[in-house]
Amino acid sequence: MRLRDSHLSNRNPRSELMSASLQSLIDSGTKLYLDSVEPSEIDQNLKWGAVGATSNPAIISGIVKAGGFDDRIDALLSEGLDDEAIAWALTDELVTDAEKKFAAIHQSTAGNAGWVSFELDPILEDPDQNLSPSDIATRYIELGKQWAAGHTNRMIKVPATEAGLLALEELAAAGITLNVTLMFTGDQYHAAREAVWKGAQRAAESGTRSLDQFKSVYSIFISRIDVYTQKELPNLSPEAQGNVGILNAKRIWKENQLFWADKNLKLEQELIFASTGTKSKDDPPWKYVAALAGSDIQTNPPSTNEAVDASGKLFTREVDDMPPQAVQDEIDAALDIKAMHKFLMDEGVDKFVKPQRELLAIISAKRDELTKQA
């Protein structure tokens, strides 16, 4: 029995203050996650019905830069920690705090929701590091085990790079719950799903983790695809332009539904619809929210959830509504999947690495500032 057919609802028990718009989105079947672990934003989004959250270096950098952590940085400095160790200590503390806030949801849904994602070190993917994919994968496995230890509702976030994909089976075999991120294409999804499923079966066979406890998610990025096609495929028709990311996500979602349908698992193996903030001023901020309403997880930026809350729109299930066949054919004929994949992955890795570098620079500046005040 699938969880949405059971009594284990994805509704947040603390959601009495959500708007009719957010309630309709959740009632359509969507699990609402927050693309932030900033404490006050989590508190607000819990009231709005969020049942999970995610972190990344850009989020942590923004929180630290905004202030409020100077005393904690000072304490960590006094312990003799370097900038990198402080960055990861702050990340771990923020994610752990978020996990505590979602713990009741995790328990009430028997592990189907209430997760908070923790992203592994992006700097490993920096080309300047000159690390081989196998070396990076080995490090991902070590770090995944380290940061997952002792946490019941923490997902370890691994990118669907060559190295990340190499690490997935071993991480899943160790009983670690995974969020495979930075995904744009079906090929990435297939490789990630197969590796995670193999690892999950190994974990069950070894007694490390029962398949009843197996949970995995696959983060499909959406708006970045539409930004790409607007630049690289300017001649797409108005009906096709701006819908490539949605079509791609819906196709992968259907594949995911079909693959897991006969596995008789207790927990849902879901897509996370990521990069759901609109990039075009001509689009309503809930464009992707509406198009993908009805299933799996939407990890939305705080501003997107705010816009949905204030929209007055009632959302209904649209995730399985495909564009007209003529639009699909036009997109398929025009789009070079391999070229798009290379461009977006190169861009994605850069966006993956830079925020962690920025976080280290922020902590270094805080170190200098606090040292001068001492």
The string of pLDDT tens digits covering residues 47-82 is: 999 999 999 888 998 888 888 788 888 899 889 999
Of the pLDDT bands very low, low, confident and very high (cuts 50, 70, 90), residue 369 is: confident
Residue 208 in any domain: the answer is yes
Whether residue 89 is contained in a domain is answered as yes
User: To the nearest whole percent, how much of the chain has pLDDT over 70?
Assistant: 95
Q: What are the start-end ranges of the H helices in the chain?
A: 20-27, 39-47, 57-65, 70-78, 83-108, 133-148, 162-173, 186-206, 223-232, 244-260, 287-291, 302-311, 325-334, 337-373
Mean pLDDT computed over every residue of the chain: 92
pLDDT category, 282, cuts 50, 70, 90? confident
- Select the more confidently predicted residue: 67 or 226: 226
Is the model's pLDDT at 9 over the cut of 70? no
Distance CA(258)–CA(359), nearest Å, equals: 40
Q: Is residue 45 one of the residues assigned to a domain?
A: yes
Residue 9 in any domain: the answer is no
pLDDT surpassing 90 at residue 274: yes
Task: Give the closest residue to 325 by CA, choosing from 222, 262, 240, 215.
Answer: 240
The pLDDT value given to residue 64: 87
43 belongs to a structural domain: yes
What is the mean predicted confidence (pLDDT) over 311-324?
96
Tokens of 347: 């861009």
At a CB cut-off of 8 Å and minimum separation 6, what does 231 contact?
A: none
Residue 10 belongs to some domain of the structure? no
pLDDT computed for residue 34 by the predictor: 92
Domain membership flag for residue 3: no
Q: How many domains does the chain have?
A: 1
For 257-264, what is the mean pLDDT?
97
What is the reported pLDDT for 368?
A: 87
pTM of the model: 0.92
User: What is the residue range of 96's domain?
Assistant: 20-367
Has residue 138 been placed in a domain? yes
If DSSP codes are grouped into helix, strand and coil, which group holds residue 277?
A: coil
Identity of residue 22? L
Q: Report the CATH number that the domain containing residue 357 is assigned in CATH.
A: 3.20.20.70
**Taking a C-beta distance cutoff of 8 angstroms, is the pair 236, 333 a contact?**
no
CA distance 63 to 254: 36
Q: Which of 116, 121, 63, 123 minimizes the C-alpha distance to 90?
A: 63
